[in-house]
Amino acid sequence: MLDKIIEKKKKRFEELQVSLADPKVIANPVEYRSLAKELAGLTPLINKYNEYLKISNDLKDMDRVLAEKSQDAEFLLLAEEEKRNLEFKIKDVESRLEEILLDEEAGISRNIIMEIRAGTGGLEASLFAADLLRMYSKYAQKKGWKVELIASSITEKGGYKEVIISISGKGAYERLKYESGTHRVQRVPITEASGRIHTSAATVAVLPEAEDVEIDIKPDDLRIDVFRASGKGGQGVNRTDSAVRITHIPTGMVVTCQDERSQLKNKAKALRVLRARLFDAKKDEQESKMSRARRIQVGTGDRSEKIRTYNFPDRRLTDHRIGLAVHNLEEVLEGELDDMIQALRREDKRLKLEARAG
């Protein structure tokens, strides 16, 4: 299975090398940078694969040597020992190949699309979704990342039924990938006159952005509907058919974008979200084909998985995946997420190393 996947990537690697030597590509700085970035991303995988092929060929040579019964006993013992060493090496390289491939497919070095949706809890859930948006925006600002609003559905009191943003910058996916799942809040809602504590929830999905060359979306596979935007949007946004709804017919995925006044801009943003969702589905399929040991991680990334509780009365934040509770809730909501993320990364690494050792 690995050979088939990597051979396809090796072919792409060779195509990129040829393209980057093409004078037309060299003369186009934007295209050249894009292709060079893609080549750099594939290089570690291809180098490791070449190492795998060399060891595999050495093993075949050793089998041929051992098949020759004319060799003396001492030589055959040395050959047997060398074969065992090679078998150990090739297993280690295979494991590393799976890790590199999984990281690449998962989008470790990519920008992200983040989707935040209000869950159970009505208006309070939508206000909590707004709190999460603010928290991630503040964290991104501290990291020097760019945040761009793609789509939103605003409720009364300034909450969100749904909000989709892109976050661009080095390390965005690597650090925020652990945020996918259900976030639960326990507090007294502003709408609660009796002062009772309510429990509400919002879901977060973190999707690595895909390049055009990775996800081929055929025009015939899309149904594009345009309509008049609703809700707040300033002068003019509600007076033209600027909102766009894109349906991906093969999968049934639907993306709607209406925040921009321009139909073309809304369409471009909707396509970015669709491409990210299709890439995420492809990643999940790829992970399901990997060995169980390579799929072990902190959390599944499933929105239905309850990952964290924000308890306001006790100022406590609890991450249920690693059993970590901290009492600096206000600071975390102001974007101080590094300690929690570092703890999740350490546990993720520990699980993977444990699985590899086993």
Range from 42-51, 130-139, 296-305, 329-338 carrying the lowest mean pLDDT: 296-305
Q: Residue range 249-262: average pLDDT?
A: 89
pLDDT band at 302 (very low <50, low <70, confident <90, very high): low
Q: How far apart are CA 178 and CA 183, in angstroms?
A: 12
Say if residue 155's pLDDT is above 80. Answer: yes
CA 349 remoteness from chain centre: 17
Range from 38-52, 136-150, 162-176, 283-297 carrying the lowest mean pLDDT: 283-297
Count the neighbouring beta carbons within 10 Å of the beta carbon of residue 139.
Answer: 22
**Domain 219-289 class?**
alpha beta
Q: Which residue has the tokens 């239905």?
A: 304
- The DSSP code for 327 is S
Range from 5-9, 57-61, 112-116, 300-304 carrying the lowest mean pLDDT: 300-304
Q: E-strand spans in the chain?
A: 112-118, 146-154, 160-168, 181-187, 198-208, 222-227, 243-248, 253-257, 306-311, 316-319, 324-326
Helix (H), strand (E), coil (C) string for 221-252:
HEEEEEECCCCCCCCCCCCCCCEEEEEECCCC
Residue 297 has a pLDDT of 54
CA atoms within a 13 Å half-sphere pointing along the CA-CB vector of 109: 9
Say if residue 204's pLDDT is above 90. Answer: yes
One-letter amino acid for residue 187 of the chain = R
Mean pLDDT of the chain: 84
Q: What is the pLDDT of residues 231-244, one digit of tens each?
A: 554 444 455 678 89
Q: How far apart are CA 233 and CA 322, in angstroms?
A: 41
Angstrom distances, CA of residue 334 to CA of 48, 136, 147, 331, 345: 42, 9, 16, 5, 21
- CATH hierarchy code of domain 112-209+298-357: 3.30.70.1660
Residue 293 has a pLDDT of 42
The domain limits of the chain are: 2-106, 112-209+298-357, 219-289
Residue 77 has a pLDDT of 85
Q: How far apart are CA 301 and CA 283, in angstroms?
A: 11
Q: Residue range 331-349: average pLDDT?
A: 91
pLDDT band at 303 (very low <50, low <70, confident <90, very high): low
Angstrom distances, CA of residue 155 to CA of 118, 125, 128, 171, 250: 10, 10, 12, 32, 32
